[in-house]
Amino acid sequence: MSGQPISILLFADSVLGIHPYDWSVQILLNYEAGFQTAAACANITGKTSTVFPIAALWTLYNFPACSPYVYFGQRAPREAAVL
């Protein structure tokens, strides 16, 4: 990868073929902008199947030397994963 990072929404659409819902677009744009981002959403809304894969794969695609930290807050005790 050279030059500027690809937009997260362009990556989701053109690379992954995913078209996120409006609410997840806002989350992804905040993540792309570098804001601390959390999502409190109902079950089975697409957090794990849509938002997380887009954010994680976009990060690894644009910043291959990084190690994204993922926090799953629904389990007790809470678990974390490093990709």
Q: Is residue 53 one of the residues assigned to a domain?
A: yes
pLDDT tens track for 35-69: 988 888 888 888 888 998 999 999 999 988 887 77
Q: Is residue 62 one of the residues assigned to a domain?
A: yes
How many domains, in total, are found in the chain? Answer: 1
Domain containing 37: what range? 8-82
Q: Is residue 32 one of the residues assigned to a domain?
A: yes
Q: Is residue 34 one of the residues assigned to a domain?
A: yes
Cβ–Cβ < 8 Å for 66, 59: yes
Q: Is residue 71 one of the residues assigned to a domain?
A: yes
Q: Is residue 59 one of the residues assigned to a domain?
A: yes
- What is the rounded CA–CA span in Å between residue 23 and residue 5? 23
Q: Is residue 1 one of the residues assigned to a domain?
A: no
Q: Residues with Cβ < 8 Å from 34, sequence gap 6 or more? A: none
pLDDT tens track for 19-40: 999 999 999 999 999 998 888 8
